[in-house]
Amino acid sequence: MAVTDQIIATYRAPGRVMREVLAGERHEARALAYLLAAVIVIHIAQWPGMSRAAFLQPEVPMAQRMMAAFLAVLAAIPLFYGLAALSHLVLRAFGGRGSYFEARVVLFWALLAITPLMLLQGLVSAFVGPGTALTLTGVAVFAVFLMFWATGLKIAEFGKVA
């Protein structure tokens, strides 16, 4: 199944898709590909909001905003690896039987799966701007991310969805 089809299917049946993702080949290149794809799309999702900000505050050019956002997203990559390792260690203390690799795949897939919502959030930031709508969109994106990540961790560490 194509990755885009799996992303769409994740919104309907996150547990089933996570089992499929975890059943795939066990090599770090696949996990890293999920993370890099997520990081690239998350960066692109910020462009509409940055364009609005550059229009409203022309003293900071768009190219400068884009480079700063790209460097910030790149700087987060090691943090994602650390967060995956920390989640595995915490769940191991509660009886988790997964691996560090599975924890990485679960986190990176959750990030990749929310990219459509991140694109929506970018459009809201561009067309509506700061305010209640953008805040609610951000909360929704974070809630869906937590749901996907928690579902994946339950499957990876405990073999089930509770």
**Backbone angles phi and psi of 54, in degrees to 5:** -65, -35
Residue 22: domain span: 3-158
Q: Which of 117, 133, 139, 130 is nearest to 7 (CA)?
A: 117
Q: Summarize the confidence of residues 70-88 as an average pLDDT.
A: 94
pLDDT at 162: 47
Quote the pTM value: 0.90
For 148, counting Cβ atoms within 10 Å of its Cβ (0-12 exposed, 13-18 middle, 19+ buried), the class is: buried
Max intra-chain CA distance, the chain? 54
Which tens digits make up the pLDDT trace of 84-113? 999 999 999 998 898 899 999 999 999 999
Helix (H, G, I), strand (E, B) or coil at 94: coil
Q: pLDDT category, 24, cuts 50, 70, 90?
A: confident
Q: Could you give the number of structural domains in the chain?
A: 1
Q: Please write the tens of the pLDDT for every residue from 113-144.
A: 999 999 999 999 999 989 999 999 999 999 99
